Amino acid sequence: MATVAQFDHPNLVKLVSSWASVNEIQMMFELMDGSLKDFYTEEENVITHIAQQILMGLSYLRDERIVHRDLKLANVLRNNDDNVKIVDFGSSRRLDIGNMQFILTVLSTIQYCSPEMLQHQLRKIDRLNKSDVWSLGILLLEIYMGHFHFPRIDKLQTYNEIINDFVVPELPNSTSQFRDFVQRCLIRDIDSRASVDDLLGHNFLHMFH
């Protein structure tokens, strides 16, 4: 909770107050109008706005050496002014060699998990925030396609597809810039996958300015 209380960024939901009882800790966050859960659109100018704000939040977390580990539509909030904020840091962890094994424990939603998280394989701790980039790619696919890419029930099938068979859908009605952006998020090899900074400089984010 102490880490969440220290967050100070417009794209991370702000902790307003907290208090502890005998059995639990209660936290009050700033009011938002809802999450992106069940929010779907093919309007790429809207997707660009969402992606850029999520990346700005991830950039802040990276600078604080924190990996979110459970980035999904339900954990991204949006208000009526189209401000987007990342929430739910229950699975997040500070990057540290000493807690590497715990970081690689899969606690997040498996359908959004990166291959390296599922396989517990990570060679360099400074690459770990790219796992959140993978989750961003899945999230954006879901927004654009209007449905979840993976089956929600068969976890073994999902695991095998992410590890061995995942291919980014063709998205024939989308722009080449959007397809390239998503494909760079969803490269299975973590060393080849785009970083947060790579994506912030991608031309997809600047198409509508």
**Residue 70 designated active-site:** yes
The one catalytic residue among 8, 38, 70, 197: 70
Within 8 A by CB and 6+ apart from 161, the residues are 150
* Residue written as token pair 């960024």: 9
Distance CA(107)–CA(182), nearest Å, equals 24
Distance CA(24)–CA(52), nearest Å, equals 35
SS3 of 9, please? Answer: coil
Comparing CA positions, the residue from 103, 77, 94 lying closest to residue 10 is 77
> HSE-up of 39 (CA within 13 Å, CB side)?
21
DSSP 157: H
* Residue written as token pair 């977390």: 61
Which helix (H) or strand (E) is 60 found in, with range? Answer: helix 44-63
Catalytic residues: 70
